[in-house]
């Protein structure tokens, strides 16, 4: 499928971190983007409205403040637009928050996702690209994580809902020949990032001279992936919708006889938590006050993405080092907070 610029692209979660950057890129490329976001208060809505204000400068952008669980609203949106693709990034995010408010994850990540799938099916959307997560790898210990690995042992409700998204997408691909592509994101960071993520939280605390919580005594690794590299991957797969393959041997969860695919989007270069902190310290110019704690329920010790599959179809190769990425984030943080 070659994406036609005459078709509209729906980006759910368009005022969120990744959704904002994806919508911005598509708009700059000349596409017409319809944004959807419920602007909830999981973190400061002011940050979401600030992102949104930048998108609203584009004449080829329209925005709807609504929830993906609103059946009538979403049907009306699909009825009035011919979507050449849907990029579904709206979700209840956060591993730890799923311990406090599990119902929010069922409402958004399960029921809301079914609503998106149903409308893509009924209005024959040419390609649905949706957000999964590296969290699905759960108790897997062999790294780098491969899409060929089993993901049957998630350790958070958030991860379980993301695996459920992959399973439901396969059902719709199989029954209705709906092309779906699931993207397993690995710890995305960068300008306009989420305040509940480590890079933002650590930067904020170091500037303020406040202690940061360092879990598992700092003995953790994350495959930090810069937002610009992630956007390249998302935009790259839009024109790479899978075709049905009746000869698929069903040995990998990442492929299917249906038009269904899964890809990791990561950096393939995990960073030790203590190295991340020292990089932020050097960039900010202040030392962190650290509060060492035991590992939290639902946390994974290490993540690392095998990105061979994505590289094979779009030559995906992250370009941003952790040092450069942190510099760009801190520069944005200081500007946004007028420091």
Q: Which contacts (CB < 8 Å, 24+ apart) does range 274-278 have?
A: 274/214, 274/218, 275/322, 276/198, 276/199, 276/202, 276/222, 276/224, 276/322, 276/326, 277/202, 277/212, 277/214, 277/218
CB 25 within 8 A of CB 49: no
CB 23 within 8 A of CB 64: no
Sequence length of the chain is 339
Which of helix, strand or coil describes residue 253? coil
Rounded CA-CA distance 14/22 in Å is: 8
Which position has the token pair 């396969």?
170
Find the Cα–Cα–Cα–Cα dihedral 59, 13, 213, 162, rounded to 10°.
-150
Radius of gyration of the chain (CA): 19
* Active-site option among 97, 137, 158, 263: 158
Rounded CA-CA distance 65/35 in Å is: 8
Strands 211-215, 260-265: pairing is unpaired
- Residue 158 among the catalytic residues: yes
Strands 188-189, 289-293: pairing is unpaired
Phi/psi for 234 (5° steps) reads: -65, -50
Which residue in 196, 162, 185 sits closest to 48, CA to CA? 196
Active site residues: 158
């Amino acid at each position: 499928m070659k994406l036609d610029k005459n078709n509209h692209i729906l980006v759910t979660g368009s005022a969120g971190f990744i959704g904002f950057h994806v919508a911005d890129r598509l708009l700059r490329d000349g596409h017409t983007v319809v944004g959807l976001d419920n602007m909830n208060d999981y973190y400061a809505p002011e940050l979401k409205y600030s992102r949104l204000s930048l998108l609203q400068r584009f004449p080829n952008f329209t925005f709807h403040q609504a929830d993906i669980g609103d059946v009538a609203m979403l049907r009306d949106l699909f009825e009035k637009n011919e979507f050449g693709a849907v990029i579904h990034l709206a979700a209840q995010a956060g591993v730890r928050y799923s311990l406090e408010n599990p119902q929010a994850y069922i409402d958004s990540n399960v029921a809301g996702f079914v609503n998106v799938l149903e409308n893509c099916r009924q209005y024959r959307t040419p390609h649905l690209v949706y957000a999964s997560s590296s969290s699905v790898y759960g108790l897997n210990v062999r790294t780098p994580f491969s899409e060929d690995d089993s993901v049957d042992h998630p350790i958070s409700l958030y991860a379980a809902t993301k695996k459920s998204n992959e399973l439901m997408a396969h059902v719709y691909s199989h029954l209705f020949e709906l092309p779906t592509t699931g993207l397993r994101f690995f710890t995305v960071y960068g300008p306009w990032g989420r305040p509940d993520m480590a890079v933002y939280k650590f930067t904020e605390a170091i500037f303020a001279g406040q202690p940061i919580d360092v879990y598992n005594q700092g003995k953790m690794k994350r495959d930090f992936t810069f937002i610009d590299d992630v956007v390249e991957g998302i935009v790259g797969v839009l024109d790479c919708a899978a075709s049905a393959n009746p000869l698929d041997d069903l040995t990998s969860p990442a492929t299917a006889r249906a038009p269904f695919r899964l890809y990791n989007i990561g950096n393939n270069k995990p960073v030790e938590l203590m190295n991340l902190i020292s990089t932020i310290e050097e960039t900010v110019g202040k030392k962190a006050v650290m509060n060492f704690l035991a590992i939290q329920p639902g946390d994974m010790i290490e993540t690392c993405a095998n990105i061979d599959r994505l590289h094979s179809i779009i030559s995906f190769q992250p370009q941003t080092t952790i040092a450069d990425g942190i510099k760009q984030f801190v520069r944005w943080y200081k500007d946004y907070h007028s420091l």
